Amino acid sequence: MVGSMGNEAGKVKLGCLLVLLLLAFATYHGVQYFEAQFRFYQIQDEAETEAEYATTLSNDEIRRRLVAKADSLGLPLGRGDWDIRRTYEYPMEITIKAEYDDSVVIELPAYRKVFRLHFTPSARRRL
């Protein structure tokens, strides 16, 4: 025999509502975190690509391309933030490196927390 629901039809349990609220909160702020990580992976990939083609590009051209990519991603990396070094002794290498901070902000009524994330995109290749 199936038990009857009685007078509970249409009511939402408080626990279920709380779980849904927590899931929505975690998803919203998790997306912010993964967006910051994705921007890092994109600029890291660009640094590796530029290092790969370094034999045909000057340091100024590499720097210009990296700054343009960082600008398109909304990252705070300008011309002076990129360190590009070449060694002309055996083994000849190029090293590209930068550092920047990104942040994820969690805001609730009467609560605000900023998480600072530090990233170091870099690449090193033999020429």
pLDDT in tens, 12-66: 677 788 888 889 888 888 898 999 999 999 999 999 999 999 999 999 999 999 9
- Does the residue 56 lie in any domain? yes
- Does the residue 8 lie in any domain? no
The structure tokens 């011309």 sit at 79
- The total domain count for the chain is 1
pLDDT for 114 beyond 70: yes
- Does the residue 116 lie in any domain? yes
- Does the residue 111 lie in any domain? yes
Model pTM? 0.80
Higher pLDDT, 96 or 10: 96
- Does the residue 46 lie in any domain? yes
- Does the residue 109 lie in any domain? yes
What is the residue range of 64's domain? Answer: 14-126
Quick one: which of 93, 95, 98, 94 has its CA closest to 79? 98
| Alpha-carbon distances of 124 from 46, 48, 59, 65, 83, rounded to whole Å | 12, 7, 14, 17, 12
pLDDT for 106 beyond 80: yes
- Does the residue 7 lie in any domain? no
Quick one: which of 75, 114, 72, 127 has its CA closest to 98? 75
- Does the residue 6 lie in any domain? no
Residues 94/63, Cβ–Cβ less than 8 Å: no
Quick one: which of 114, 95, 100, 28 has its CA closest to 69? 100
Helix (H) or strand (E) holding 36: helix 14-52
Predicted local distance difference test score (pLDDT) of residue 107: 84
The mean predicted confidence, pLDDT, of the chain is 90
pLDDT for 105 beyond 70: yes
